[in-house]
Structure formats: structure tokens, C-alpha cells
Amino acid sequence: MDSDNYDGQSHAGENWLYSNVVKEHFFNPKNFATAAPVDYNAVGLVGSPACGDMMKVWLKINPQTEKIEDFKWQTFGCASAIASTSALSEMVLEKGGKTIDEALTITPQDIMARLGGLPQIKVHCSVLGDQALAAAVNDYFKKTGQEERVKSNK
């Protein structure tokens, strides 16, 4: 990671070890759901309370175009998990929203690149974001009778 991305300031008595982009998404999350959204047609939940990171993603998908029109989320976890989900939501909604197929091309590496990197021990957070999106899309496929499009893993 590029050291120019780190602010070197102390946060809560410890050095902040994340990029300024991670800091921005953690302290000012984008597309965060304060309550469970209504009128969304896909939901995905991944993670484990035992390991500490849980992500829930809601998608509003246009059935005619398969464009993701909205992406809301809630994450219980560390700064990396929150920032990864926030950044992913922005990536999916850019330029009016990606189609399902376009959104599924986003990789954990793309999420980490958007964040300016993550510490090696936190890479799994970007993977969880990727898995949460895939789980929500699979939910949509099941709800719309497209079981043949359900994927077990990317």
C-alpha cells in the first residue's frame, strides 16, 4: 500500500493503519440502511457472529433491465468490513447502476483497490462484501424463478 494514503494521525489512542479512503467510508458510510429497507427484491446475508463480521445487503433490481437501482447495507464488524461494504455499494451504483452481470464482475481486489488497500489481515473483509453481493443476487434469481442462474461461488 502507498504510504501517502495514510494520515498517520492517532485515533482512539492508536495509529490509524488504513488509507484515508477507508477512513472516509468508515466514518461516513455510503448507502447505509438505518433500518431494513422495504420494496427491495433481493437480500443477502454473509458472515458469522463468531468471527465478528456480518454483512447484510439489500438490492432493488429492475426486472426488465436487471439494473441494480439501489443498494443498501448493514455491517457489523471492523472498519475494513464497513468500508468494504460502503465502497462496494458505490461501485455497484455508479453511472446509474450496474446490471446484475456487471456487478458480479466486481472482485475483492477491485474493492481493495477502491479503498487504497487493506492490511493483509483484513483482506477477508473485501471478500465478504463480494459474497454478500453474490448472495443477494442469488436471492433475486431464486425469487424470480431463475434457479439455473444461481451460483454457489464466484
The CATH number of the domain holding residue 75 is 3.90.1010.10
The secondary element (H helix, E strand) that includes residue 92 is: helix 79-93
The answer to whether residue 98 is domain-embedded is: yes
pLDDT at 154 over 70: no
The answer to whether residue 17 is domain-embedded is: yes
Number of domains in the chain: 1
Active-site choice (36, 51, 113, 150): 51
Mean pLDDT along residues 3-7:
39
The answer to whether residue 154 is domain-embedded is: no
More confident residue, 6 or 78: 78
pLDDT of 69 reads 98
Per-residue model confidence as pLDDT tens digits over 75-98: 988 888 899 999 999 999 999 999
Mean per-residue pLDDT of the chain = 86
Q: Is 125 a catalytic residue?
A: yes
pLDDT of 10 reads 40
Tell me the residue range of the domain where 101 lies.
3-149
Per-residue model confidence as pLDDT tens digits over 114-152: 999 888 878 788 888 889 999 999 999 999 999 999 988
- Residue from 111, 113, 117, 128 nearest 77 by CA: 128
Per-residue model confidence as pLDDT tens digits over 9-28: 444 445 557 889 989 999 99
The answer to whether residue 36 is domain-embedded is: yes
Q: Is 78 a catalytic residue?
A: no
The answer to whether residue 95 is domain-embedded is: yes
Q: Give the distance from CA 150 to its chain's centroid.
A: 19
Q: How many CA atoms lie within 13 A of 140 on its CB side?
A: 24
* Rg of the Cα atoms in the chain: 16
The answer to whether residue 138 is domain-embedded is: yes
Active-site choice (125, 134, 136, 137): 125
Whole-angstrom distance, CA of residue 114 vs CA of residue 112:
5
